[in-house]
Structure formats: structure tokens, C-alpha cells
Amino acid sequence: MKILFVASEGLPFSKTGGLADVIEALPKALVELGHEVAVLLPRYHNTKTVGIAVPSVTVPSGDNLRFPGIVEGGALHGVLFYFVDDREYFDREQLYGVAGKDYPDNAERFAEFCGAAIEFCKQVWMPDVIHCHDWQAGLVPLLLKTRYANDPALWDVPVVFTIHNMGYQGAFPREVLKKLGLPESLFTIDAMEFFGRVNFLKGALIFSDYLTTVSPKYAEEIKTPEYGYGLDGVIRNRASRLTGILNGVDYAAWSPERDKMIAARYSPKDMAGKTACKKNLIDQLGLPAAVMEKPLIGIVSRFAGQKGFDLIEEIAPDLLTEDAAMAALGAGEPKYEKFLRELAKAYPAQVAVKVGYDNALAHKIEAGADIFLMPSRYEPCGLNQIYSLKYGTVPVVRATGGLDDTIEAYDAATGRGTGFKFQAYDAPSLLGALREALSVFRNEPAAWRQIQLNGMSRDFSWQVSAAEYAKLYDAAWNSRNQKAVTSSNEFRVKSAKISPVDPIGKGSHGR
């Protein structure tokens, strides 16, 4: 099967979060299963290419036309990479915005990207299935049902859409419809309208053939008001087409037995290298040698409220009285960047912070820390807690989404478990879980080693998840093509008429 991934970021070319890791690893795993896979990304600043696929494609933009090019990135691990090339839109300092603010033309930028993706299918590489990711790719299924509804080349191409984070929806003023050249008929409760705004994610949820999230528990959580961010009604009405598939990990890149970015390699049979990795980490961060004798808590994260940094800020004074140290890497909301910088300045012997993204340092923290902290308010899947297991770095997490799916709470009576979890989203619960972990680390070395070995034995490789996606692609393709045999016009939709794959009763799904 030929599968096209459409996403706004992907390693090794661009990254702000876990989406980029998925776009690097899942296509590679699918190729290993025998599929043909191409990935289409925007061409951001300094993206190197190897050739031109199409000098330009034509994408309507309101009353105007735009002409982005399609350039080739070559093949990596059997996966073909292509880029939508428009310097005005994508050759910028950051991917989505600067100084904590989104670029004001993000709707236009990613609408063009989605339109170019469909033209890419027609002119460069026609897939059997299109797999779109997050709101930036959310117009692809909608455009297929409106602007391209009468194009026979695309009638039988289904879209699988993955929600990596319901909290990011791509909501814009109503006027954006005209800017993008989309029909006003889309501004209804049964299409893109969301509390007076145009919502790209909502459009994707309604017009895609199948929906996925990145963990089974998150697939259930987003059906609730607490986690659905206003779209839980839409999700409940599309529940028959929704599945949760846990993200995997690329152990070729994230394993202490293979990692070329860490000071020493190690394995469950010989953990000596982990001590060398801790020493290398504290040396690189400028922490004092005395930290070698303290529990070192690692954080690699987007600095945001969703990731629990409000709780970390609340407990920091108490935590640092526990004679622990902390190493944090990431970027995000300015207030949390400021908090962490000030914390490091106030406690230079215990806290080191680097604001920004540094892949090598991320590996060093995974290998050199003793504890990995992820107290997320919600977490669709999370990857760093899974990396931590393989590196023998014991996770402390909140029991939500993928964190709950992947971490088994330590049970002193049985010796089972891979980390420490807390339930309520509040500072006392987080501090209690950390104190429990610190107590075992200091007072029960044999138990701590068992927790490390339990985690290192877990297998969250992409092979299992890729096989689940392959089954879903088959189901999506069959649902379209079997129906096409029955009625060649079933998926033809007049450009002025909206008809979701699973018709939803008008007004029945809330906002």
C-alpha cells in the first residue's frame, strides 16, 4: 500500500514536539512492513533538499492564486521526503510563531500547505491512503470533500487523521474562510464553526474517514468535557471511527546500548555506564560534583501549563529542600522559561536549565538522570517517559493519557512496576509521588534497581503500533473502494454541499 503522511513537522528536518518523532519513526516502521511511504512537510528555514519534483503547483487563496513548489528531500530508511516550498510562508525563524505568539497568517500558511498536499498527490505521488496529523494538516480531508469533490482522481483516496493533542485546534476568525477561498456554507455547527470561529481541527474530525489518537486512554479521555476542549461531542459522534494506537519508540535512536550521543553505553546486564553518563551530564551543565551523590531529576519538555509546570513551580521550594537536583531542557511559555531561569539562578548548586531544543542534551538527560518527571495535566501519549524506561531513568508521572498506559506504578509488596504515579492534578499529589520515589532511591537501592530493570525490559517499539496502523489503512481503503464499487457517486460532493463520511445529525454533536 502507498501511504502519504502530511504533517507540519518531522525529524530529522524540523521539530517542536513529539509529533516530529512520530513522523520520523512510524513511516520507517511501515516501510519495514513492506509498504511504500512518502512524507510531505513544509520547507522551513535551512531545510536541505536534493531536487525539484514540481516547480510549482496552483493553490487558490481567496481571490488570488499561490504557486508553491514541491521539492525533494531524498529517501531516508526507505521513506521518501518531500517539501512544500514557499519562502514567504515557511522560511521563518520558527515553525509556528515567535516570542510565545502564533504567526498571524498561520491559517493562510497551513491552508496553502494542505492544498499543495492534494496537488502533490495528483502531480507527484498518488497514495492509496493519506495520513494527516494535527490541525495544520486538517484541511486536507475537508478540501477533498469540497474543492476537489468532483475530481475523479481523488474519489477513492481515504484520509486517516491523527489527533496528537486536542488542546491545539487551529481556531481563527470567521473572515478567514473568504481569505482561504472556502465556501461560507462551511461556517455551520455541522462543519467548521466553533463558537463563532473557524476551527481547522473540527473540520478534520468531521470530514476524515477514520480518526486516531496516540494512546488508548487518550481516545477515551477526549470523549469527555474535561479533555475534549469543546469538541467532545464531535468525538463521541465519531466514536465508531476512532481508535487509540499507542505511539512507539525508535530504539535504534533511543537505547543506551546503541546511543552515540551519551558518554558511555550500558545495558540491564551492566549498568556501570549510567554512572559515567550522570557525571558527564552534570559536568556539561556546570553542576557541582556533589550532585553525583544526590538524586538527579531530569525534565525534557515543552515548558507549558499542559505539561504540569504550574505544579512544578508550586512545589519547587519544597522539592529543593529534599537535597535533590534538577536538569531541565525545553522551551515554551515565557512565564515558565522565566521561572526556570530564575530557579537555576537561585539554586545554582542544584538546578541547571537550558532553554531551547538540543537533541544531544536530551539524550544525555535521559541517560544521566536518576528520575524523569512528567506531571502533565493531560498527555495524549508522551514519548520521553518511554525513552526513560529504556535508559533506566525512573519516571514520575501523572496517571493520564499515555502516561497511564505506559507506566506501571511501583508496588513494594510484589516488586512490580516501572515508576511512580499520582492521580489528582495538584501540588501535594505531585510532591508526594516525588518523595516516594526519592525515599526508595535513597533507602532501598535493591528495590530501585529492580524498578530500573523492570522498565528497561519493556518493549514499546514501533513494530506493534505500525501493524495496527496498517490494519486501519486497509479498513479505510476498503471502506472507500468497496463503496465505490456499489456506487461510483457515493463520495462525490458538490462544492457547495457538505456531507461528512459519517453523517451527523444536525446539532446533535454540540460544538
Quick: pLDDT tens for 271-307.
Answer: 999 999 999 999 999 999 999 999 999 999 999 999 9
Domain-located, residue 258 = no
Q: Are residues 80 and 174 in the same domain?
A: yes
Domain-located, residue 314 = yes
The Cα–Cα gap between 295 and 40 comes to 43
**Mean pLDDT of all residues in 375-379:** 96
Q: Are residues 408 and 341 in the same domain?
A: yes
Tens digits of per-residue pLDDT, 378-387?
A: 999 999 999 9
C-alpha cell at 378: 493531560
Angstrom CA distances, 156 to 58, 148, 370, 481, 497, stand at: 22, 12, 51, 6, 18
**Mean pLDDT of all residues in 14-20:** 88
The Cα–Cα gap between 25 and 370 comes to 26
More confident residue, 155 or 266: 266
Q: What is the b/e burial string over 213-222, where b = at least 16 CB atoms within 10 angstroms of the residue's CB?
A: bbbbbbbbbb
pLDDT band at 495 (very low <50, low <70, confident <90, very high): very low
The Cα–Cα gap between 270 and 398 comes to 30
Q: Are residues 353 and 445 in the same domain?
A: yes
Tens digits of per-residue pLDDT, 152-169?
A: 999 999 999 999 999 999
Q: Is the pLDDT of residue 308 over 50?
A: yes
Extended beta strands in 405-480, E state: 420-422
Domain count along the chain: 2
Tens digits of per-residue pLDDT, 425-482?
A: 999 999 999 999 999 999 999 999 999 999 999 999 999 999 999 999 999 999 988 7
The Cα–Cα gap between 15 and 19 comes to 8
The Cα–Cα gap between 244 and 452 comes to 27
C-alpha cell at 322: 529534599
* Bridge partner residues of 331 (DSSP): 302
C-alpha cell at 251: 530504539
Q: Are residues 441 and 399 in the same domain?
A: yes
The Cα–Cα gap between 507 and 206 comes to 13
The Cα–Cα gap between 134 and 462 comes to 20
Domain-located, residue 409 = yes
Alpha-helical regions (H) of 288-368 = 309-320, 334-346, 359-368
**CB of 147 closer than 8 Å to CB of 459:** no
The Cα–Cα gap between 128 and 394 comes to 42
pTM of the full structure: 0.85
Q: Are residues 97 and 58 in the same domain?
A: yes
End-to-end CA distance of the chain: 36
The Cα–Cα gap between 480 and 501 comes to 10
C-alpha cell at 123: 502531480
Q: Are residues 369 and 470 in the same domain?
A: no
Burial of 169 (0-12, 13-18, 19+ CB in 10 A): buried
* Bridge partner residues of 194 (DSSP): 197
CA–centroid distance for 368 within its chain: 24
Q: What is the pLDDT of residue 99?
A: 79
CA–centroid distance for 78 within its chain: 22
The Cα–Cα gap between 73 and 24 comes to 13
Domain-located, residue 265 = no
Q: Are residues 220 and 348 in the same domain?
A: no
Q: Are residues 237 and 353 in the same domain?
A: no
C-alpha cell at 368: 544521566
Domain around 186? 2-248+463-486
Domain-located, residue 509 = no
Q: What is the pLDDT of residue 133?
A: 98
Percent of the chain with pLDDT over 90: 89
Q: What is the pLDDT of residue 348?
A: 97
**CB of 370 closer than 8 Å to CB of 324:** no
Q: Are residues 215 and 293 in the same domain?
A: no
Nearest C-alpha neighbor of 91 from the set 39, 43, 41: 43
Q: Is the pLDDT of residue 501 over 50?
A: no
Domain-located, residue 229 = yes
Q: What is the pLDDT of residue 483?
A: 56
**CB of 47 closer than 8 Å to CB of 86:** no
Domain-located, residue 204 = yes
| Residue appearing with cell numbers 532511591 | 441
The Cα–Cα gap between 388 and 366 comes to 6
Q: Are residues 177 and 67 in the same domain?
A: yes
Q: Are residues 132 and 229 in the same domain?
A: yes
The Cα–Cα gap between 41 and 11 comes to 10
Q: Are residues 308 and 217 in the same domain?
A: no
Domain-located, residue 160 = yes
CATH of residue 398? 3.40.50.2000
